[in-house]
Structures are given as structure tokens and as C-alpha cells.
Amino acid sequence: LLLQAMVVGRAHNVDPSVASFLITGESRDTVSVSLPMRRAKCTFDYVAGQPVHEKKQVKEGSQIKVEDVVQRLSGQCASGQSGYWTYEVCIGGNIRQYHGADSYMLGRYNRVEGKILKFDNGLPCDPPSNPMERKVDVSLACSDNMGLQLISEPSTCVYTMTLLTPEVCADSSFPKLMSSPGGAGGPKSDDGHEDWILQVREMENGEVVCTAFSTEQKLAGSRLSFSSFSLKLDADEDERKVANPTMKARAMGRVPLSSSEVSTERSMISHGKDFNGKLGYVEVAGTLSTAGGGAPEASASTGTAARGWFT
């Protein structure tokens, strides 16, 4: 049974160009926002399915390849605290260390060596006296929930930590650890819903930008899996059209979706044939021009920085 998602206007709905809404674990809905004077409309249509962290039926005693785990978890993030700092790892992306406004990039995902995820090319330690770049080795352990534990810095600017995930539980060669909600490495509890924002804005250069995104992109990854989605930017006046449209989409962890994971048509972007259900940010942008002539071709731009709140 699909449950209707709740749509709640922000600030008593005084701003028709912004809507905040709750997506539950099993829901479908269409949400729209408009610019003042109804010059443009942004519409987000989606069907949300089972949580991404759904447990898989894997036979005990299986041998699991770490490369396969990385592929399945790509775009998901986990965090944990050790002393003063909080650490966040995004699979296939970056690892950062932060506290308040202070944030340091410790490494970018590079490769797998044995059962270790290698993150290299982090920020230099203390240039110019110690220009060594930070790096991190991430090992894997079995747990019911995602999280980070056993975070340490065995030598200056060289870090180790353990990513907890149910993805390796069928392989007895991986250690088993108990997650500790609220403690070091404890994952955020899975309450089966996410808060999203849909927004349409007109930039100083006249470009109109339509965005839909999760407010939880900096947390431990999405708890939802989308069966389908589409984001469309329309001109609300018959004599206008959306010209020069550009589009982009990302999974959690700011990982761009590939060209085969999305489909574009005119001023709309939607799920593609290889879409795996992981979505954190989607955008359509263009200019409003007087109608006439052929419709411009859309261009997918999944690899560039987005204009949304989470860049």
C-alpha cells in the first residue's frame, strides 16, 4: 500500500516558490512550486520505495568482494565521532573531519587494497613545514547499521577507521561489531522518512533554477530508495518557453549520477535505465524566452557543481 506523502508549506505558505515536504518509506506524490506572478513552475514527481539499507538475503559463508561492496554503497555516507572531531565518509567520494565551522578534507576515494578502502590526496598537514597530504585507510566490519567506529590517527595525518555495514555480514572473514546509536560511530536511527525541499528561484542573470533535494545529505546517507522520479521546469505563460535548459542529479554524498542513470527531455530530467534508487539532489535550470522556433535541446550536466543549498 502506497501512503500519500505530506506536503507542508514553509512559513505559512507565504512563499509560493519554496515547499518543504516529508517523503515516507513507501510514498508517491507530485509537488509543485511557482515563481511570483506565475512566470515559471517547478514540479517534482516521485515514487519512493524500500529503504536503501534493506537487508539482502545472502547465504552464510559467502566470500564477498570489497569492490562489490563499494559499488553497492556508492553515494552513501556514514559518520562517527572521536573526541573533539566528527568524521564523515562518503563511499566513492571523500572523507572529512569537522567540528562546527572547521572542516578538513582527509582524503578522496582512490582504490581497494585487499580489504581496505584507500582514501588519498587529502589536505596537506601543515604546509609548508609538513606538506604531507592526509590519507585514510578504511576497513569494513559487519553490523546491523551503517556507522563509523575505531577512528584513530596512528601517525601524523594518517588515519584509520572502520566502516560498519550489513553488506559484509555473510562473510565470516570480516569482524563483527555492535553499533552504538548516539556514541562514537553510532548511526542515525532509521525512522523511515526524509525531509525534502522543492524550490524555484530566478537568478540575477535571469536564469530560473528549479531544485529538489534532501535536507539530510550531510548525514549518514539516504534511508529511501526511489523507484522513479522526474523534475520539470515549465513556463506558466503560453507565450513563453524554457530556453537553454541544463540538468543535473546527484546521489547522497554529492556523487553525480551518470548519463545512463538519468533521462533528459526538453526541460525535464527523470530516472534512466540504470538508476539504482539513490537520489539526494536534482536540478533543472534555464531561461524564460518568448515562444517561437524549435524547442532547445536539453543537456545533462551531472558532473558540475550544483546551485542548490548543498554544493
Three-state SS across 89-106?
Answer: EECCCEEEEEECCEEEEE
User: Average pLDDT, whole number, for the chain?
Assistant: 76
Q: Residue 232: its pLDDT value, please?
A: 93
The answer for 99, left when phi > 0, alpha when psi is -120 to 50, beta otherwise, is beta
Q: Residue 222: its pLDDT value, please?
A: 55
Q: Over pLDDT 70: what percentage of the chain?
A: 68
Neighbours of 18 (CB within 10 A): 17
Q: Taking residues 181-190, what's their average pLDDT?
A: 40
Q: Residue 302: its pLDDT value, please?
A: 42
pLDDT score of 41 more than 80: yes
Could you identify the residue written with the cell 524554457? 242
Pairing of strands 299-300, 240-251: parallel
Q: Residue 293: its pLDDT value, please?
A: 47
Q: Residue 132: its pLDDT value, please?
A: 85
Q: Residue 58: its pLDDT value, please?
A: 47
User: Which of 14, 52, 17 has its CA nearest to residue 31?
Assistant: 17
Q: Is the peptide bond before 127 cis (omega within 30 degrees of 0)?
A: no
Between CA 287 and CA 8 the distance in angstroms is 28
Digit-coded pLDDT (tens) for 209-241 = 999 888 765 444 455 678 889 999 988 766 678
Are 69 and 56 a contacting pair, CB within 8 Å?
no
> 208 forms bridges with which residues in the sheet?
202, 286
Are 163 and 148 a contacting pair, CB within 8 Å?
yes
141: cell is 566490519
Q: Residue 217: its pLDDT value, please?
A: 52
230: cell is 522526474
Of 309 and 288, the structure prediction assigns the larger pLDDT to: 288
Please report which confidence band the pLDDT of residue 277 belongs to, taking 50, 70 and 90 as the band edges: confident
270: cell is 527523470
Q: Residue 296: its pLDDT value, please?
A: 41
Cα 49-4-54 angle, rounded to 5 deg:
20
Q: Residue 17: its pLDDT value, please?
A: 62
Specify the amino acid at residue 212: A
Q: How far is CA 43 from CA 17, 65, 237, 262, 279, in A?
A: 11, 40, 15, 17, 16
Please report which confidence band the pLDDT of residue 67 belongs to, taking 50, 70 and 90 as the band edges: very high
